[in-house]
Amino acid sequence: MEKLIEILEDIQPDVDYKTCEDLIDGHYLDSLSIISLISEIEEEFDITVPAVEIIPDNFNSAKKIMAMINRLREE
């Protein structure tokens, strides 16, 4: 989780990722941030994020992103 928050802060600073629950709906992360984030987490966590996973529900909070990463790791 800490590594993920580090990645997020690198991509888009000035957001409290520990508490924010509307990263997409609140427009904190735009489509370019998402492209960066996917590229980073794929490299860091050795996973592949298919386009179908890019829905607000998977990216609205750090917890949800981590849950998606864990799920993709298991698959």
Partner 1 sequence: MPLSIILGAGKLVSMTSLFVPAFFALFLPFCIITYALVPKKLKKYFLLVASYGFFWFVSGTLVIYLAATTLSMHYFGIWLDYTQGKMKSAMSQAEKEIKKVVKKRYITRQRYIVLMAVSLNIGVLLLLKYSKFFTVNINDLLAFMKVPLVIEIPKYLLPIGISFFTLQSLSYIFDVYRGVTKADENLFRLALFLSFFPIIVEGPICRYNQIAEELWDAKPITYRNLTLGLQRFLFGMMKKIVIADRLNPFVKVIFKDYANYEGGVIAFAAVCYTVQLYMDFSGSMDAVLGVSQIFGITVPENFKRPFFSKSISEFWKRWHITLGMWFRDYVFYPITTSGKMKKLTASARKKIGNHYGPLVAGSIALFSVWICNGLWHGSAWNFVFFGMYHFALILCGNLISPVVKSFNHRFKINPQWFFYRLLQMVRTSVLVVIGELFFRAEGLKNGLQMFRKMITDFSFSSLNTDMLVKCGVDYLDFVIAGAILIIIFIISVLNEKGIEVRETLAKKNIFLRWGVYYILILIIVIFGAYGIGYAPVDPLYAQF
Q: Which residues bind partner 1 (CB under 8 A)?
A: 10-11, 27, 30-33, 35-36, 38-39, 42-43, 49-52, 54
Least distance to partner 1, CB of residue 47, Å = 12
Residue 47 token pair: 């996973």
CB nearer to partner 1: pick between 52 and 74:
52
CB nearer to partner 1: pick between 11 and 20:
11
Residue 53: CB atoms within 10 A of its CB come to: 15
